Structure formats: C-alpha cells, structure tokens
A and B are shown apart, each in its own frame.
Chain A
C-alpha cells in the first residue's frame, strides 16, 4: 500500500445552522467529544471535529449566507455535506485522482481543519462531494 492510499473515513461533514445548538445532539446526546474547533475564514465557516472511533464528524456552521456552506444551507437545509478520506499523502492521492480523469475542485492541497486537504468535484463521484485529508502530525489518530 502506498502512502497515497485511502485508509479510512477521516470525517463526514454535516452542515448545521449553529454549532452550539448542534452540540446538544452530537456531543451531549451521542456522546462524541469535541476534538477541535476553528474558524476557517477563507471558507466562511466555523467548524468543529467530534471524534468517533478512528473517524470524526465535522460540523460546519456558515459565517455568511454567501459562503459555499451558507448557500448549501439556504438551498438544502441542514444535513450531510461531504465525505472525507484520510490519506498519508494528499498530493499523491490528488495526482492519482487527476490521472483517472476525476474533475477536481482543488488543483493542489491546501490547509484545512482536518490537515492538508483537497476536494474532488461531485460530478465525478455520483453526487458525493469527496475530500482527501492528510492529517497534521499533531492530530494523527
């Protein structure tokens, strides 16, 4: 297995209206501990990662209605947003996707809450928005 192999579900992204309200269900009822919270200004979101076994649930609250997440919320309401795979080499995984003619959203990896990340276009993946993440060393499970 190469470092670029996809090894596990890193997280499943869920769009919510308000993080604090969402904690009432995901943290307090399901018992998932909050691992990390951050504001990602360039994506217009406040996000939280909640640990579930070797994976996480990522809650995404839009900062503005004009952000990508804000538009998703306005159009589709709260709910499942994207599926993120963990990899040990996000650049290699992205190159492998490009070699298979997958339509890309990100041409190169960029920093995100889950590590170095990139997104593939859902047009190539049956409507599923797919993210790759190479976790930062300090966040590795």
Chain B
C-alpha cells in the first residue's frame, strides 16, 4: 500500500464552530475552501486539514465525544490507490468497511486493528 499523506484530523466538539474559531484564532490557520467536502468546519495546515464536527447521535464519533470528551477523535489518510489499499487490508486480515465519506469512497478501518485509532483511508486527490 502507498499511503501518501495525512488528509485530515477530526476534532469532535459539542460546539464545532466555536472549536474551529478557537483554532483559527490561536494558530492563525485559514479556513479550508474549495477542498474536498468535510463534515463540519475545516481549517487548512500545509496539505492537510483539521475538521471540527459535532457528531450526530448514534454515530461512532458521538460515542467518542461521549466517552472521551471533546478532542481529537479520528484520522484520515490519503492513499495512492484505494482498490489496492482494500486488497492489502484483506490480505492482512484487517477488518474494514467501505463508506461514502464527504462524497468520496472511503475505507473505514476497525479501530481494534489500528491500535484504537478511528482510521479512514481515502484516495489522495
């Protein structure tokens, strides 16, 4: 598998717009504009983004917010070839699900295989 970049880091918060505004002010990070869709407000740093999400009830991110509180809750990595990545995961017996993430096909890896990390792979744009 060719894993190329950190696509984005996801921060969960009960007030995602406020969290994004805090990061924008403290770290002087610009808003992400025109990039691939994300689930909430997003800031850009280098080639990556930090997205801020207030998760819907019943989702894994809502569970992360409930049990772990506000903070970093998920990581998305960009790969060169998503189909090849899926084959690699299958060969390694790593459990994953195919989902649509922000309009893109994504591989959501079982956190138990990723050392507790809610990890998603997307094709690098």
Interface residues of A (CB under 8 A from B): 5-9, 12, 14-17, 22, 25-26, 28-32, 52-55, 59, 76-80, 82-83, 85-86, 97, 100, 102, 122, 124-129
Contact = CB atoms under 8 A, between A and B. Distances in A.
A17 B112 CA distance: 12
A9 B9 contact: yes
A39 B114 CA distance: 22
Contact of B48 (A26, A55, A77, A126): A55
A27 B6 CA distance: 15
B117 A79 contact: yes
Contact of A30 (B1, B70, B74): B1
B interface majority secondary structure: mixed
Given A55-B48, A78-B116, A97-B26, A12 B4 contact: no
Given A14-B117, A25-B114, A125 B3 contact: no
24 contacts: A8-B45, A14-B115, A15-B115, A25-B92, A28-B92, A29-B92, A30-B1, A30-B3, A30-B77, A31-B3, A53-B4, A53-B5, A54-B5, A54-B47, A59-B115, A77-B116, A78-B116, A80-B73, A122-B71, A125-B23, A126-B19, A126-B70, A127-B11, A127-B69
Contacts of B120: none
A97 B23 CA distance: 11
A52 B46 contact: no
A53 B6 contact: yes
A25 B75 contact: no
A52 B1 CA distance: 12
Nearest to A10: B46
Interface in B59-77: 68-75, 77
Contact of A31 (B2, B47, B70, B114): B2
B26 A125 contact: yes
B4 A52 contact: yes
B45 A85 contact: yes
A119 to B, nearest CB: 14
Contacts of B13: 126-127
A97 B88 CA distance: 42
Given A8-B47, A9-B48, A80 B72 contact: yes
Contacts of B29: 6
A65 to B, nearest CB: 17
Given A80-B117, A85-B45, A102-B26, A128 B5 contact: no
A126 B41 CA distance: 14
